[in-house]
A = this chain, B = another copy of it.
Amino acid sequence: MVVVNGQPTDLISVHDRGLQYGDGLFETIAVIDGKAQHWELHMLRLARGCERLSIPFPGTEQLAADVDALAIDHQRHALKIIVTRGASLRGYRPPDSPQTTRIVYSLPWPDYPATNAEHGVTVRLCSGRLSSNPQTAGIKHLNRLEQVLARGEWGDPAIVEGLMLDNHGNLVEATMSNVFLVANGHLHTPDLSSCGVAGIMREIVLRECRSAAISVHIRTITWDDVWQADELFLTNSLIGLWPVRRLVTPQEQRDFAAPTLTRELRARLRDSLPDHVA
């Protein structure tokens, strides 16, 4: 079921600016036993995204009511929330008083194999690059053509993710997840002030590290840094935290040794990961 502005329907106007221009934001949230995981963090990011785009934030209570209206009783599902600037006539100019559109619906829990989290996954390097724009960096807006094209680069189901670089050749993220690397016993993750989505699971890793006094360097990460890392792992709200076992490029491939620090971190974060009730 889909709820649009509180009403059960899976249709929206063709004049909605979400379709017309990608003028909106979204969240993808893990729901386990009826509880939306990390709801407050998702709402915080959505509110910040709305603020950045000058879209009125519908409010946490309103969105929670929309989610309740879905009346989902699956033990586990993925919740998607889209907020757009609403419909308007022709032209890029944002309306002075936009009537935002709220779209809330549930999707089946993705059936990722448990081995992904336990033994790690194979990732590739995408040739498509992520463009830089500090104005829209970090937020989860609806302009996702770069991710679509990058995800379209491969069909091999053995490869689960693709790393993406910026125009300078530095690591930003993967198509649907954030990336951390371990080098010399320290954690590193790309600075996302110019491009990329600041994921909620990334935020949770950063918070855990802060509270456990594990140092994380948020910085520019070159391709050499990635290639020479001791460990690599991916995060997002639905996958949790997956170690990378193999990295494939058009020229070569590299296998990673046992992900020691990654496993330690997984154990620490156990209660925050969506697979903790697997």
Shortest CB–CB separation between residue A73 and chain B, in angstroms?
Answer: 20
A158 in the interface, Cβ–Cβ < 8 Å? no
A148 in the interface, Cβ–Cβ < 8 Å? yes
Contact of A22 among B78, B110, B143, B150 (CB under 8 A): B143
Contact of A152 among B14, B54, B103 (CB under 8 A): B54
Question: Which A21-38 residues have a C-beta within 8 angstroms of B?
Answer: 21-23, 26, 28
**Interface code A82-108, partner B: CB below 8 Å = 1, 0 otherwise?**
101100011111101000000101010
Q: Are B145 and A53 in contact (CB-based, < 8 A)?
A: yes
Instruction: List residues of chain B with CB within 8 A of the CB of A16.
Output: 19
Instruction: List residues of chain B with CB within 8 A of the CB of A133.
Output: 129, 131, 146, 167
Contact of A92 among B11, B110, B144 (CB under 8 A): B144
Q: How far is the CA of A262 from the CA of B105 in the complex (A)?
A: 53
Q: Categorize the interface residue count of chain A.
A: 35 or more
A2 in the interface, Cβ–Cβ < 8 Å? yes
Q: Are A10 and B19 in contact (CB-based, < 8 A)?
A: no
Question: Which A130-147 residues have a C-beta within 8 angstroms of B?
Answer: 131-133, 135-136, 141-147
Between-chain CB contacts (< 8 Å), 14 pairs = A4-B14, A11-B14, A12-B14, A14-B82, A19-B142, A53-B148, A92-B144, A92-B151, A92-B176, A93-B151, A96-B155, A132-B132, A136-B146, A136-B149
